[in-house]
Structure 1
């Protein structure tokens, strides 16, 4: 058994769950580190506090002021991420940050101008666009006004502090718009999935009504008629009972055919499910474009077998592989008997096959399904750095044309086989 990979890990495209609330302690730690890492830009003011240019009173004032500033910054951002407080509760920490930025820069030196950049970014994160578009320029104007106190930096402080405060704020406004768009898209996709499920239930209800409505009505009518005939006309009643048996058997056949159609997996449907499962498990997925196309050489049975193979392979990758990447390939191959096969290949970079080389129940059942379509299953060590590879082969219905003309291929439709479904 290969180690199970956590299903709640962020994927490579969204490593810090941008636009999502943390669902586990690990995700909360990841988002915390993403917020805290930017505090390293305060290295300049901290370095000045440790130098010999400040008195004891100035050091105490700097430590207290910087601590209050960082606390206001962290509390503001974390409350925004976790609970999104009302707008009027967001202005108090922002006002505290702006006041501390002015006071600390005015009394301790120009290197503290970097605090205005944090204030600008925090304004963009927690305020709606209608307000942040005015607050960010206001913070920039304050940077320019306070920085003018220090003649020694007039040649570059506009580019070192004022422009980053202005630019970083509006860049973060763009990021917030992207986050909102992502959240709306995620909500829309969930709504589409819900509507699709409702539509499928309605379709099933309509089909069952069409299949069984007439048959059950006829059975009811003939049952009542047979009941009235029983005392005096037993032969006619027996004929009605025979009709009831015939209609009920036909209704049972129709229901079985309908259910079989619903349960038959499709390759496109399983590919969509594989994308969701692997993305949720935090794996990077590479899909061969051939999988997105329609293959006319597949029958319903062979397509169903490939779909089951894809489902089983992806389940094994998610539950047992411990992999970070997965690749799906679909190729056409000629065998020695001149028959053409379609090969589905699933490769991961995980722990590889177990040493005992014994197939689990899932792979055993998959071999049996493929055997019913005259196909086969191959598994083993992935090439290169290791991992696991699964190859599922199913025969194609029609041969490909060769340069010398069409090659006659005997009918490869499988004979009825008694075995597991």
Structure 2
């Protein structure tokens, strides 16, 4: 069948059609065999039988090998065997000239079989041709024997390029599938981080506003305004995530964490100077640690029922500790996705109950001055 090239719009044929076209052209060299059989003074039955074998050889060569390049090796071996046997069956009629048809078998062997197997077959057929010449008392066809070997070598190299191109195509397709899967995973992970944190913050702020209505309407209005702002930011984050341009600010996440934790009635301890603490962290690591702060604080609000939460920053890490109760069972999808995100950046994330009670999450990132890790900044209420 013909196909249209996606880049040039030109018509092109697939490999099978190319083989069939080449096979038709190659039959020019068999015209002399057809003429020889037709003009021979032999019984009609023998003539019909010989022409039938020649026609079967022609049709088989044109239509079968091109369909078998990626078939199992027994099928390929059977195809080559047919092209060896049919000329051998014509030896009683055409004599040693029938052996010249083995060049077709050698070409197909180089096309279908492994390189060393195809080359071995080419050499064997070349020797077989010379043996047939000797058996019939004809001059040895050294030129044709060398041609058989040369054509086999040419076809072996040609098919090696075909197989390489196919492997490259399959690899490209696999990489495309992996890229799509990775992008889906990224979007799903980011949407979990965004919606989980934002909806939790909105719920906390909305609950606080409800409690303040009738008691402090001004404060309630301020909280409703904060809810509206959080909803707008969440919508913007979702759009940015879908387009792949979303950025997370560590300083911004710390500010939001403090506000949301306080609204939830949790006493929060942050670095005494947030800006200075953030500045000590390598810029490439700030967004990653911002994700850690976001997920850990969301879990504190959702599950911990904590009274205090302490966030500590160091040049190569962030740690979030609460005094609440740890959720039973294994870590949820949020922490699992967070661990994958940190690991993909070459860092480590540990999360679990603390010996003295509460829950802790710590993320460490590479490419920082780890000697300064111990000199963490102080915290203040």
TM-score in terms of structure 2 length: 0.53
**Which of 159, 178, 200 is equivalent to 2:183?**
200
How far, CA to CA, are the matches of 1:10 and 1:229 in structure 2?
A: 64
Q: Once the 2 structures are TM-superposed, how far is the Cα of residue 189 of structure 1 from its aligned partner?
A: 0.6
Q: Once the 2 structures are TM-superposed, how far is the Cα of residue 8 of structure 1 from its aligned partner?
A: 6.2
How far, CA to CA, are the matches of 1:247 and 1:208 in structure 2?
A: 15
How far, CA to CA, are the matches of 1:183 and 1:49 in structure 2?
A: 42
- Contact between 1:42 and 1:114, CA under 8 Å: does it hold in 2? no
Partner of residue 180, structure 1: 163
How far, CA to CA, are the matches of 1:91 and 1:163 in structure 2?
A: 23
How far, CA to CA, are the matches of 1:230 and 1:121 in structure 2?
A: 89
Partner of residue 127, structure 1: 113
Partner of residue 113, structure 1: 99
- Contact between 2:96 and 2:138, CA under 8 Å: does it hold in 1? no
How far, CA to CA, are the matches of 1:260 and 1:181 in structure 2?
A: 35
Judged with a 3 Å threshold, the aligned counterparts in structure 2 of structure 1 residues 14 and 145 are, in CA distance, closer, same or farther, namely farther
How far, CA to CA, are the matches of 2:7 and 2:56 in structure 1?
A: 32
- Contact between 1:105 and 1:146, CA under 8 Å: does it hold in 2? no
How far, CA to CA, are the matches of 1:126 and 1:6 in structure 2?
A: 24
- Contact between 1:110 and 1:150, CA under 8 Å: does it hold in 2? yes
Judged with a 3 Å threshold, the aligned counterparts in structure 2 of structure 1 residues 108 and 31 are, in CA distance, closer, same or farther, namely closer
Partner of residue 48, structure 1: 36
Q: Higher mean Cα deviation, 124-133 or 53-62? A: 53-62
| Cα distance per residue 1:110-163 (max 9 Å; x no partner) | 443331101111222233335333322211111111122455543xx210x211
Q: Once the 2 structures are TM-superposed, how far is the Cα of residue 240 of structure 1 from its aligned partner?
A: 1.6
In structure 2, stretches of 5+ residues that fail to align are 247-381
**Which of 113, 117, 142 is equivalent to 1:158?**
142
Q: Once the 2 structures are TM-superposed, how far is the Cα of residue 53 of structure 1 from its aligned partner?
A: 6.0
**Which of 58, 65, 72 is equivalent to 2:53?**
65
Q: Once the 2 structures are TM-superposed, how far is the Cα of residue 63 of structure 1 from its aligned partner?
A: 0.9
**Which of 5, 14, 28 is equivalent to 1:17?**
14
Partner of residue 263, structure 2: none
- Contact between 1:90 and 1:127, CA under 8 Å: does it hold in 2? yes
| Cα distance per residue 1:291-347 (max 9 Å; x no partner) | xxxxxxxxxxxxxxxxxxxxxxxxxxxxxxxxxxxxxxxxxxxxxxxxxxxxxxxxx
Partner of residue 330, structure 2: none
Indicate the structure (1 or 2) with the bigger Cα radius of gyration.
2
Judged with a 3 Å threshold, the aligned counterparts in structure 2 of structure 1 residues 200 and 88 are, in CA distance, closer, same or farther, namely closer
Partner of residue 95, structure 1: 81
Judged with a 3 Å threshold, the aligned counterparts in structure 2 of structure 1 residues 13 and 87 are, in CA distance, closer, same or farther, namely farther
Judged with a 3 Å threshold, the aligned counterparts in structure 2 of structure 1 residues 147 and 10 are, in CA distance, closer, same or farther, namely farther
Alignment of 1:345-356 (within 5 A): none
Please state whether the residue corresponding to 1:175 is helix, strand or coil.
helix
Judged with a 3 Å threshold, the aligned counterparts in structure 2 of structure 1 residues 198 and 222 are, in CA distance, closer, same or farther, namely same
Alignment of 1:410-421 (within 5 A): none
**Which of 129, 150, 153 is equivalent to 1:143?**
129
Judged with a 3 Å threshold, the aligned counterparts in structure 2 of structure 1 residues 11 and 120 are, in CA distance, closer, same or farther, namely farther
Q: Once the 2 structures are TM-superposed, how far is the Cα of residue 260 of structure 1 from its aligned partner?
A: 6.6
Alignment of 1:207-222 (within 5 A): 207-208=190-191, 214-222=197-205
How far, CA to CA, are the matches of 2:57 and 2:168 in structure 1?
A: 35
- Contact between 2:4 and 2:11, CA under 8 Å: does it hold in 1? no
TM-score in terms of structure 1 length: 0.49
Q: Which protein, 1 or 2, shows the higher relative CO under an 8 Å CA cutoff with sep ≥ 6?
A: 1
How far, CA to CA, are the matches of 1:184 and 1:255 in structure 2?
A: 38
Aligned length: 245
- Contact between 2:19 and 2:62, CA under 8 Å: does it hold in 1? no
Q: Once the 2 structures are TM-superposed, how far is the Cα of residue 254 of structure 1 from its aligned partner?
A: 4.7
